[in-house]
Chains A and B, each alone.
Chain A
């Protein structure tokens, strides 16, 4: 498909040109949308391909984000100092939990490993017990709620409701400088590209076929001798790692991490982007996440009073008229085009 190749090249070129044409503020927003797009790829894998409706992706996003924020805060505070929020929360000594995060290698590993391990253990427990469908969705949502309560309750450890803010350095990059922001954008775009590639390879592999089979007929797959719990746990873990990476990038991009980003509502918002774009198509999920967040910015800037209604209206319209999302619209348009190209009347199915 040359058209597909061309469009891919166009996208890459546009993403590459963005730092030259956009103001630092708009570029920062685009980088934020790309962070959400990284989460969307993971959700499209778990939900679209694997049928696991995960309403708690905010938890993994948060685990990655807090791991990164802890490192950046310690770096900012220097060797002897305490992060600013600990000072006003009455903490006098650096808690033991924080100490290893002063090491950049540990922090980077934690960004990937903590969400991965949590998702892996959770997946093993849940999928072995054959919890699926709505029960899994409710469980993941409850996890998001509990996680937020835990973060808020531990103000001295986590910054409570405020979360953590005021980061000026990111591995030697100056976040207050437009060039530093451009570099962070570039990193985010590259991570999104890598995430997309990994997901694409996974979907095309034998494992990907097995995953779709588990989604469409878990019991049949089990009778054929495979263990669906393993397939689902691995996929869920990969999607959690993607969310963790996105959370870690979100911290330098936006400059804040707080429980307000991780609870039930933000977790649902992540899902809305994927639903709007089309959960069965990876590129659709990315486009949906970018589109929904771009619409949020656009609506709220132009209609500060009633933008939520506009955003809600958009979501309802998509669900009513395009239940498979924007990708579904594209798909049916292509099918129609293809059938029109065929000469003569529509082919008649011949059955033996």
Chain B
């Protein structure tokens, strides 16, 4: 009977204690815009595999908040960030989003990176009628009324990259990607485009996230002899892929690789010598020449260190905070429906150039830019769209994309 005795004793001591602590409600955080402060949530992965990328976006968002406060805040109130860790785990993103909304009562949330984290947070924001600003280029085919997308959708990044390759006379392509929703959807779009424009797809290969063994895949590319490789690999895999590609003797001159998830931060990790001469497609580079970018790069280095680089998702996160502040100023309140209504047509001079919120789909008009990776790790722009491209997440304006959504 001993086991019964001490299990009961344990129940006596532990569970009531735990449950009482769980039952004690901490005082509510007050409304998002109470007193002389406005609380906003910052929800990125500060731990886990995505931390290396997401921490840089968080830094850029905190910089923007600091700048806004230095100019007197929003509606005369100071913006106070409440930071939570999404921990590279999608259910945690949903939980923390709910916490920011119902416990901290934040006015809005800036957060997410992976599509999986956005898909996990989407129902939370829609049910609570709260706002999320999502700062990373993504696979499109989505337009939640409670999310603002400040990164590129497909017609502002992937389609211009395809147009660029087609204009260069590339007729045979090989697709390489990590196995999750963005690469798979991106490749679906690429295949539809290729079918319509007479481009031949020689192969389509996926590897798990974090995969590092690419000799088989590189051999397949070498055998297929494509004119270009379209690369949607994410994270660490790019390091192994580019090293093994270079080792096999495939050069940027014969077979350029176009990457859509490799920015300044990733080039640093891959090693510029392994990726120099290959192409990338984004909307912003650290080298983009606008007055706003000079100020952004300078301020970022002053705050976080001279060796830091700025990249497209960081800039989109930085813009998100400024766009939200402008919308709140125009609405005269932080109330969600009023901010949504005021947001359409809001324009700021962002580091990437003039940026305007599209009121219909809550995406942002962005200029597409093709860049060439330099030996020093910076990216040189070789082509840009004539002006900001109107966001079209469902690719409705493209005949060849009819069967996609």
User: Which among B5, B103, B116 is the interface contact of A25 at CB below 8 angstroms?
Assistant: B103
Question: Is B255 part of the contact surface with A, judged by Cβ < 8 Å?
Answer: no
User: Which one, B6-14, B277-285, B315-323, B328-336, is touching chain A?
Assistant: B6-14
B90 touches A149 (CB 8 A): no
CA distance A184 to B92 in the complex (A): 20
Could you tell me the distance in whole angstroms from the C-beta of B383 to the nearest C-beta in chain A? 29
Residues of B within 8 A of A6 (CB): 12
Residues of B within 8 A of A294 (CB): 18, 21-22
Interface string of A249-262 (1 = CB under 8 A from B): 00000111010110
Closest to A29 in B: B95
Residues of B within 8 A of A260 (CB): 88-91, 116
CA distance A25 to B96 in the complex (A): 10
Q: If the complex has contacts A21-B23, A283-B15, A304-B84, are A163 and B90 also in contact, measured as CB distance less than 8 A?
A: yes
A162 touches B181 (CB 8 A): yes
Interface string of A149-169 (1 = CB under 8 A from B): 100110100001111011110
B18 touches A161 (CB 8 A): no
B385-405 residues with Cβ-Cβ distance < 8 A to A are 405
Closest to A287 in B: B14
Residues of B within 8 A of A1 (CB): 4-5, 8-9
B10 touches A11 (CB 8 A): no
Residues of A within 8 A of B185 (CB): 88-89
CA distance A304 to B111 in the complex (A): 14
Interface string of A19-62 (1 = CB under 8 A from B): 00111111011101100000000000000000000000000000
Residues of B within 8 A of A198 (CB): none
User: Which among A30, A278, A330 is the interface contact of B22 at CB below 8 angstroms?
Assistant: A30
B101-122 residues with Cβ-Cβ distance < 8 A to A are 102-103, 114-116, 119-120, 122
A152 touches B179 (CB 8 A): yes
B102 touches A88 (CB 8 A): no
Question: Is B172 part of the contact surface with A, judged by Cβ < 8 Å?
Answer: no
Question: Is B202 part of the contact surface with A, judged by Cβ < 8 Å?
Answer: no
B12 touches A7 (CB 8 A): yes
Q: If the complex has contacts A162-B119, A300-B84, are A203 and B94 also in contact, measured as CB distance less than 8 A?
A: no
A256 touches B8 (CB 8 A): no
B141 touches A88 (CB 8 A): yes
B141-190 residues with Cβ-Cβ distance < 8 A to A are 141, 179-181, 184-185, 188
CA distance A3 to B8 in the complex (A): 8
Number of interface residues of A (CB under 8 A): 74
B11 touches A160 (CB 8 A): no
CA distance A297 to B208 in the complex (A): 30
CA distance A307 to B47 in the complex (A): 9
Residues of B within 8 A of A349 (CB): none
Question: Is A271 part of the contact surface with B, judged by Cβ < 8 Å?
Answer: no
Question: Is A125 part of the contact surface with B, judged by Cβ < 8 Å?
Answer: no
User: Which among B6, B15, B84, B90 is the interface contact of A281 at CB below 8 angstroms?
Assistant: B6
B4 touches A162 (CB 8 A): no
B115 touches A176 (CB 8 A): no
Question: Is A227 part of the contact surface with B, judged by Cβ < 8 Å?
Answer: no
CA distance A305 to B62 in the complex (A): 14
Could you tell me the distance in whole angstroms from the C-beta of A90 to the nearest C-beta in chain B? 5
Question: Is B83 part of the contact surface with A, judged by Cβ < 8 Å?
Answer: yes
Interface string of A281-296 (1 = CB under 8 A from B): 1111011001100100
Residues of B within 8 A of A139 (CB): none
Closest to A92 in B: B403
User: Which among A21, A32, A254, A334 is the interface contact of B9 at CB below 8 angstroms?
Assistant: A334
Question: Is A18 part of the contact surface with B, judged by Cβ < 8 Å?
Answer: yes
Residues of B within 8 A of A23 (CB): 25, 102-103
A7 touches B8 (CB 8 A): yes
Residues of B within 8 A of A155 (CB): 179-181, 184
Most buried by A among B84, B114, B124, B184: B184
Question: Is A4 part of the contact surface with B, judged by Cβ < 8 Å?
Answer: yes
CA distance A90 to B186 in the complex (A): 11
Question: Is B20 part of the contact surface with A, judged by Cβ < 8 Å?
Answer: yes
Closest to A156 in B: B184
Question: Is A331 part of the contact surface with B, judged by Cβ < 8 Å?
Answer: yes
CA distance A298 to B262 in the complex (A): 36
A327 touches B122 (CB 8 A): no
Q: If the complex has contacts A23-B25, A88-B141, A152-B180, are A11 and B94 also in contact, measured as CB distance less than 8 A?
A: no
Question: Is A8 part of the contact surface with B, judged by Cβ < 8 Å?
Answer: yes
CA distance A168 to B124 in the complex (A): 11
User: Which among B3, B15, B87 is the interface contact of A7 at CB below 8 angstroms?
Assistant: B15
User: Which among B92, B103, B123 is the interface contact of A165 at CB below 8 angstroms?
Assistant: B123
CA distance A238 to B250 in the complex (A): 55
Question: Is A93 part of the contact surface with B, judged by Cβ < 8 Å?
Answer: no
Closest to A297 in B: B95
CA distance A167 to B123 in the complex (A): 8
Residues of B within 8 A of A24 (CB): 102
Residues of B within 8 A of A30 (CB): 22
Could you tell me the distance in whole angstroms from the C-beta of B295 to the nearest C-beta in chain A? 28
A149 touches B208 (CB 8 A): yes
Residues of A within 8 A of B16 (CB): 7, 10-11, 14
Interface string of A67-91 (1 = CB under 8 A from B): 0000000000000000001011110
B115 touches A162 (CB 8 A): yes
Most buried by B among A161, A167, A254, A297: A161
User: Which among B5, B21, B25, B90 is the interface contact of A162 at CB below 8 angstroms?
Assistant: B90
Q: If the complex has contacts A4-B11, A7-B15, A304-B85, are A256 and B94 also in contact, measured as CB distance less than 8 A?
A: yes
User: Which among A28, A89, A162, A307 is the interface contact of B98 at CB below 8 angstroms?
Assistant: A28
Closest to A203 in B: B3
**17 more A-B contacts (CB under 8 A) besides A7-B11, A330-B10?**
A3-B9, A6-B12, A8-B8, A15-B19, A29-B95, A30-B22, A89-B184, A160-B180, A160-B181, A165-B119, A256-B90, A258-B120, A287-B18, A290-B18, A294-B21, A308-B47, A326-B14
Q: What would 11 A/B residue contacts be, using CB atoms closer than 8 Å?
A: A4-B7, A8-B8, A23-B103, A89-B184, A149-B208, A161-B116, A278-B10, A287-B14, A304-B46, A305-B46, A307-B47
Residues on B facing A (Cβ under 8 Å): 3-16, 18-23, 25, 46-47, 83-85, 87-92, 94-96, 98-99, 102-103, 114-116, 119-120, 122-124, 127, 139, 141, 179-181, 184-185, 188, 208-209, 405
